[in-house]
Structure 1
Amino acid sequence: MLPESHSILNLLEGGFSQLKVLVIGDLMLDRYIHGEVERISPEAPVPVIRHAQRYERAGGAANVAMNLAGLGCQAFLAGFWGGDSEQAELAAILDRAGIDTVGVVTTSLPTISKTRIVGRMQQLLRLDIESRDTPPATEVQRLQERATELIAKVHAVILSDYAKGALSNTLCEIVIRAARLAGIPILADPKTPDFSKYNGVTTVCPNLGELAAATGIPAHRTEELLAAGQALVVEHDFKFLTVTMSEKGITVLRPPSPDSSGTYHSPARAREVFDVSGAGDTVIATLAACLASGLQIETAAEVANLAAGIVVSKAGTVPIAAHELVAALTPSSGLTASEKILDLERVKLRVAEWRASGETIVFTNGCFDLLHVGHITLLEDCRRFGSKLVLGLNADASVCRLKGPTRPIVNQGERARVMAALAAVDAVVLFEEDTPLELIRALKPNVLVKGGDYTVETVVGHEDVIAAGGRVEIVPTVEGFSTTNLVKKLTATTHNEEMLK
């Protein structure tokens, strides 16, 4: 489990929605054309693609903004695009994601686009449309003005530099100075070997190849290369350098000190790598969101590493989504008991995120006053029906009404903590009512489980679950085990002990 996991989950489940992040850089449209290769052209020795699918995605700095939006942040974008059909397609993608493009300047140059032609999952050709001309001075000035205005409204800034002309040395200097005066983190993704362009940023996020170009040290001489990276931190007034190392993970570099080597390494999470395009955008977006929220860089690097591992397992440039990180962060074995105890709003969010990641949601409920073998058997049976188990727990007032004035024996806080500590349980939520009907309607589980001598028709909430496409499972109770029997035994034992005194 990651450090500060509880804080991370709180941010993913609502905290990031309060965060505003500005991305300044080179906007692009990524277009993909997929097809089948069945023969070689008789006109030239090239494969013939039979068209099957075409789709467009945001690329470059626009993909960084998409990742921020996927994490739940309010993303603002500044850069250039042209008044052409590619701009219309890119604007539509960004608008659907809720990204604010007020900082984008329409220029006389074409919108940068990259068209990838893919046959049987193998990229055969890439066609780039872009201009090598510099935008007119009036448009450059307009971008500087819009970017500077937005810095006053946000909590972090990202310089997404693809060396396509949006991020001039002058603009970088202006933006970095403004962000530092505002006291907000500023991160740079470099495409130039001269890191002086980013003097004073919080962190630069090069990959090994980019760091090798900046230092002149070959990428395979890793130890020497990272030592040179530490020297760059001092030389360019960075707080730290964040190096993405492909399958090796992410390394954070600070100057060494008597107490520390200045190096923190987060190893990559093991996943099948399908497509690494866009992974760097995911890393810098996740780092920015975490740093702006007050998390330590070590924690931010761990979360970014996890996010990158998720996106490289997909085809094409695909941004991270908060629910994917939540699903990765919440295996039942990895959470503490307190992290599984949720109120209604949090459990609704958690269930929605699990469902979006393809999990099957199971729900059961009960008082669970004095845990016994029957309870454990029920919960183990529940896990056979799905991948995530939510336990509805009767609050004390509800137990009292159902069981009598002497119950519960164990208060609701302690009962919740005990139940949440069980590996079979993924979330515990208390309810005050006599039945969990409203809770079931709110969560819409895929499987509703009840233990005992019930029929499907007598289980509270069965109609709602079945109407939503779910099902009801009845599991038998373990004979001879009940809280009532335990109470009788305890009472009898206490009585006998009193008689012997």
Structure 2
Amino acid sequence: MSIFKFSKSKILCVGDIILDSYIEGEVERISPEAPIPVFNFLSERFVLGGAGNVVRNVCAGGGKCHLISVIGTDKESENIKSLIKENSLLSANLIAEKNRVTTVKKRHFSGQQQILRVDYEVKNDISQKTQDQIYALYEKKIQDFDIIILSDYNKGLLTISLTKKLINLAKRLKKIIIVDPKRKSFEIYKGANIITPNYNELLNTSNKNLHSDKSEEKLISSISNELIKKFSFSAIITTRSSKGISIVSRDKKVFNLSSKALEVFDVSGAGDTFVAYLALATSSGMELEESSVIANKAAGISVGKFGTASVSVNEIFGNIEKNKKLFSLGEAKKKLEIIKKSNKIGFTNGCFDLIHSGHVNYLINSKKYCDFLILALNSDLSIKKIKGKDRPIINEDDRVKILSSFDFIDMIIVFSEENPLKLITTLKPDIMFKGKDYKLKDVVGSKEVSSWGGETKLIDYEKGKSTTKLINRIRNEA
């Protein structure tokens, strides 16, 4: 079963639920009363927004999710309850406050053009009684879940005192906590593992004048490092719309992932989709960089949809298949005949079983030296011969699907031979990559690559990262 299905993931979400209303109508004339359009109502539909959209996406990814949130006692709260009941993977504790309106965003559309948005909301903090109820529910539920998401739309649920208590309990129980922030100060989230602001949200936490001479990526790195040090975060992932994402971790490593050009139809809810799939991938055992690649892919699909939307696992597979990267040797040779004149062709090979951040960084660094990167992937059969009967952990179909989702890999060829020499001599790459744990003279194909004017480059491996170590750790903890 593909790890993309995330069927064993259990996510607990605490945050501001919103009822998103989409009102369709027609505009055919201007009002005689004022220079404004006359909107003729046709229909209205409702979807879960805010924290509700986060949990919708978790469930669309196949994970089980529980939501703790606050609503009013109005008819809109009944709409929210009905929408939650429709999803078999979603459960919820919704606390009703008598003097609170349910947050609603009513968007009026004519065709695909948004005419007006009307918001109904109360932003003041929830009562102490409600805070105590939320914490009691959270304390009761948390042991049953892998990942905690705090979806903060700054609507009054995640008060300073409550948020600190939620994070402190998660830390004591060694649960990973991910925060999607909407505040100018991140101090309230101190001690959380991962923070996922967009670029503007990150910028708002800092004095921009202190960083005016820096590029966008350096600015993100600088502000993120300040916040990580100040508030003890493990990492900050900044979403940058069409420019991709930037990950800055506690060890000051920076990982920038670009996005493929997409037709952006509607950005509402893309951040919810990102944090949902980040949680799903993290709970399945993926490391931060890998989880971010999957989350970025999901968010990229989301912006191509109308309105607040969820993204399914099948859509992620479809998005990967649309840009097919798996080639036979014959197909690869034909493609290279077309592109080789204007592109520097790179080549690397390996098992890439139980993919970790060391693999990701190795591939990213390899791509820096070429325009088109080919990955020759050992088949299941060849891995068994090399590593033993208990390997691979991840079968070749799933390894291909995971690796195909990485933008820095352009082509994948699965091979069953003892080594990739046949592929190298057939494809004749301009540059070949291998890890620095090899000596140049021992790299299969290096002499052949040199013979046609190419080069072999040894790439640094991330210290302490290896599939064997991961497997041993899992077995020891089982």
> Which residue pairs with 1:293 in the alignment?
284
> Which residue pairs with 1:156 in the alignment?
147
Report SS of the residue matched to 2:307. Answer: coil
**Displacement after TM superposition at 1:99 (Å):** 4.9
Report SS of the residue matched to 2:131. Answer: helix
**CA distance in 1 between partners of 2:142 and 2:251 (Å):** 32
Answering whether residue 177 of structure 2 is matched by residue 214 of structure 1, we say no
Query: Given the alignment, which residue of 239, 243, 246 partners 2:241?
Result: 246
User: Deviation per CA, 1:250-286, whole angstroms, max 9, x where unpaired?
Assistant: 11002456xxxx1101111221000000000001111
> Which residue pairs with 1:60 in the alignment?
50
Report SS of the residue matched to 1:295. Answer: coil
Query: Given the alignment, which residue of 287, 304, 318 partners 2:295?
Result: 304
Answering whether residue 224 of structure 2 is matched by residue 233 of structure 1, we say no
CA contact under 8 A between 1:67 and 1:320: conserved in structure 2?
yes
Query: Given the alignment, which residue of 15, 19, 25 partners 2:15?
Result: 25
Answering whether residue 216 of structure 2 is matched by residue 224 of structure 1, we say no
Query: Given the alignment, which residue of 74, 81, 91 partners 1:91?
Result: 81
Query: Given the alignment, which residue of 12, 15, 18 partners 2:4?
Result: 12
**CA distance in 2 between partners of 1:99 and 1:215 (Å):** 39
> Which residue pairs with 2:162 in the alignment?
171
**Displacement after TM superposition at 1:180 (Å):** 1.6
**CA distance in 2 between partners of 1:100 and 1:118 (Å):** 29
Which amino acid in structure 2 is aligned with residue 136 of structure 1? S
Report SS of the residue matched to 1:274. Answer: coil
> Which residue pairs with 2:188 in the alignment?
197
CA contact under 8 A between 1:105 and 1:139: conserved in structure 2?
yes
> Which residue pairs with 1:45 in the alignment?
35
**Which shifted more, 118-127 or 74-83?**
118-127
Paired residues for 1:248-267 under 5 Å? 248-255=243-250, 262-267=253-258
**Displacement after TM superposition at 1:128 (Å):** 1.1
Residue identity (%): 32
Paired residues for 1:332-411 under 5 Å? 333-335=324-326
**Which shifted more, 100-109 or 270-279?**
100-109
Report SS of the residue matched to 1:215. Answer: coil
- Residues 39/303 of structure 1: CA separation in 2 closer, same or farther (3 Å cut): same
CA contact under 8 A between 2:233 and 2:250: conserved in structure 1?
no
> Which residue pairs with 1:70 in the alignment?
60
Query: Given the alignment, which residue of 152, 161, 179 partners 1:188?
Result: 179
**Displacement after TM superposition at 1:179 (Å):** 1.4
Which amino acid in structure 2 is aligned with residue 250 of structure 1? I
> Which residue pairs with 2:101 in the alignment?
110
Report SS of the residue matched to 1:316. Answer: coil
**Displacement after TM superposition at 1:21 (Å):** 0.3
CA contact under 8 A between 1:269 and 1:306: conserved in structure 2?
no
**CA distance in 1 between partners of 2:87 and 2:76 (Å):** 17
- Residues 22/336 of structure 1: CA separation in 2 closer, same or farther (3 Å cut): farther
- Residues 330/28 of structure 1: CA separation in 2 closer, same or farther (3 Å cut): same
TM-score normalised according to structure 1 size: 0.62
**Displacement after TM superposition at 1:183 (Å):** 1.9
Stretches of structure 2 that go unaligned for 5 or more consecutive residues are 329-395, 401-478
Which amino acid in structure 2 is aligned with residue 117 of structure 1? H
CA contact under 8 A between 1:231 and 1:255: conserved in structure 2?
no
**CA distance in 2 between partners of 1:336 and 1:197 (Å):** 49
**CA distance in 2 between partners of 1:26 and 1:213 (Å):** 21
**What is the root-mean-square deviation of aligned Cα atoms in Å?**
2.3
**Displacement after TM superposition at 1:213 (Å):** 0.5
**Displacement after TM superposition at 1:104 (Å):** 2.1
User: Deviation per CA, 1:468-496, whole angstroms, max 9, x where unpaired?
Assistant: xxxxxxxxxxxxxxxxxxxxxxxxxxxxx
Query: Given the alignment, which residue of 70, 82, 100 partners 2:72?
Result: 82
**CA distance in 2 between partners of 1:83 and 1:98 (Å):** 24
**Displacement after TM superposition at 1:37 (Å):** 1.5
**CA distance in 1 between partners of 2:180 and 2:129 (Å):** 26
Which amino acid in structure 2 is aligned with residue 248 of structure 1? K
**CA distance in 1 between partners of 2:77 and 2:326 (Å):** 44
**Displacement after TM superposition at 1:80 (Å):** 0.1
Which amino acid in structure 2 is aligned with residue 246 of structure 1? S
Q: Which has the larger radius of gyration?
A: 1
CA contact under 8 A between 2:125 and 2:159: conserved in structure 1?
no
- Residues 332/283 of structure 1: CA separation in 2 closer, same or farther (3 Å cut): closer
CA contact under 8 A between 2:220 and 2:238: conserved in structure 1?
no
User: Deviation per CA, 1:352-371, whole angstroms, max 9, x where unpaired?
Assistant: xxxxxxxxxxxxxxxxxxxx
Report SS of the residue matched to 2:12. Answer: strand
**Displacement after TM superposition at 1:224 (Å):** 2.3
**CA distance in 2 between partners of 1:63 and 1:301 (Å):** 19
Report SS of the residue matched to 1:18. Answer: coil
- Residues 191/211 of structure 1: CA separation in 2 closer, same or farther (3 Å cut): same
CA contact under 8 A between 1:283 and 1:307: conserved in structure 2?
yes
CA contact under 8 A between 2:234 and 2:250: conserved in structure 1?
no
CA contact under 8 A between 1:68 and 1:286: conserved in structure 2?
yes
Report SS of the residue matched to 1:33. Answer: strand
Report SS of the residue matched to 1:38. Answer: strand
CA contact under 8 A between 2:238 and 2:247: conserved in structure 1?
yes
**Displacement after TM superposition at 1:91 (Å):** 1.4
Report SS of the residue matched to 1:88. Answer: helix
**Displacement after TM superposition at 1:22 (Å):** 0.7
- Residues 212/105 of structure 1: CA separation in 2 closer, same or farther (3 Å cut): same
CA contact under 8 A between 1:230 and 1:255: conserved in structure 2?
yes
**CA distance in 2 between partners of 1:152 and 1:175 (Å):** 13
> Which residue pairs with 1:279 in the alignment?
270
**CA distance in 1 between partners of 2:112 and 2:92 (Å):** 36
CA contact under 8 A between 1:104 and 1:143: conserved in structure 2?
no
**CA distance in 1 between partners of 2:259 and 2:306 (Å):** 19
- Count of residue pairs brought into register by the alignment: 327
